[in-house]
Amino acid sequence: MSDRRVLGFAWLALAILTWLVLRDFFQWSFATFDIPNQRYLGSFESSSLLGVAVSAVSAVATWKHKTIYEFCLETVSETRQVVWPGKNETRENTVVVVVVSVIMALILGGFDLVWAKLSNFILGAA
């Protein structure tokens, strides 16, 4: 798949995510400021249509911006050059992270227990 096509799919996904966030934001805004959220064409609320419009305009504007577009293409190109870890290396690193996390949780839990006992001893005696 070409870099341009990958970038197009990523841009589309980001535009859809932006629309979902903006739709919820506009719904909240309409409810907060008592603005009627009217329906158009049967089932489309004005907050959803407003979210689509803002998302589409921002996606097209950033797509057409030469500097942003070239930067994103370079990013996709550089990502293709990354040497990704294999299945075994990923599994080994995951085990290391889980073991270290459990050990750190036990250490911090121990410190918390000692500190709680010490605090209760000092405050109980006062």
Res 59: pLDDT: 94
Res 126: pLDDT: 55
What pTM did the predictor assign?
A: 0.66
Contact between 55 and 49 under an 8 Å Cβ cutoff? The reply is: no
Domain locations in the chain as residue ranges: 3-80, 85-126
Res 124: pLDDT: 84
> What is the mean pLDDT for each group of 10 consecutive residues in the chain (126 residues)?
92 96 96 93 91 95 95 94 94 98 98 95 79
CA distances from 107 to 91, 95, 110, 124 (A): 24, 18, 5, 25
Give the separation between CA 100 and CA 125, rounded to whole angstroms.
37
